[in-house]
Amino acid sequence: MSRPPLPPFSKQDAIQKVRMAEDAWNTRTPEKIAQAYTIDSKWRNRSDFLNGREDIVAFLTSKWQKENDYRLIKELWAFHENRIAVRFAYEWHDHDGNWHRSYGNENWEFDNEGLMQTRIASINDLDIKESERKFLWPRGVDNDRRPDDYASLTELGL
């Protein structure tokens, strides 16, 4: 299975890969998201270590049972050949209605078919008031895709 754009990445390819990942994660559909990763993909997410698509689906399913109204923005930080570095932030609330913004960095490595084989994520959480939210685009029917003209992390001062 091929998932263009394929490495080695140009700047435009890397930007496209980042946006494709953002769009997929904003669907909050673990099975769909897992298809972007190799069968034996290796992840480190905070202190969790995952191996393969089944672990990814289980992890994301659990994640979105806790993180309600999740909305994510990713931004390209750097790229080289088959690797992309990304910074991101997402907002969510817990079951008690407390809002949070999570900030992080990801390092991605892709195979020749454009599937992510390694994802290393470091993430920190910040409690915020609902009035401090910045990710306020309209909800979609099938997902919460950020509109193309919505501000980036840099433009939002994040």
What pTM did the predictor assign?
0.96
Rounded-to-10 torsion of CA 6, 12, 16, 18: 100
Rounded distance, CA 3 to CA 82, Å? 13
Rounded-to-10 torsion of CA 137, 132, 156, 24: -40
Four-residue CA torsion sign, 120, 36, 63, 134:
positive
What would the pLDDT profile of 31-67 be if each residue is shown by its tens digit?
999 999 999 999 999 999 999 999 999 999 999 999 9
How long is the chain?
158
Rounded distance, CA 153 to CA 5, Å? 23
Rounded distance, CA 134 to CA 8, Å? 34
At residue 62, the pLDDT reads 98
| Beta-bridge partners for 91 | 71, 101
Domains of the chain: 11-132 (3.10.450.50)
What would the pLDDT profile of 113-125 be if each residue is shown by its tens digit?
999 999 999 999 9
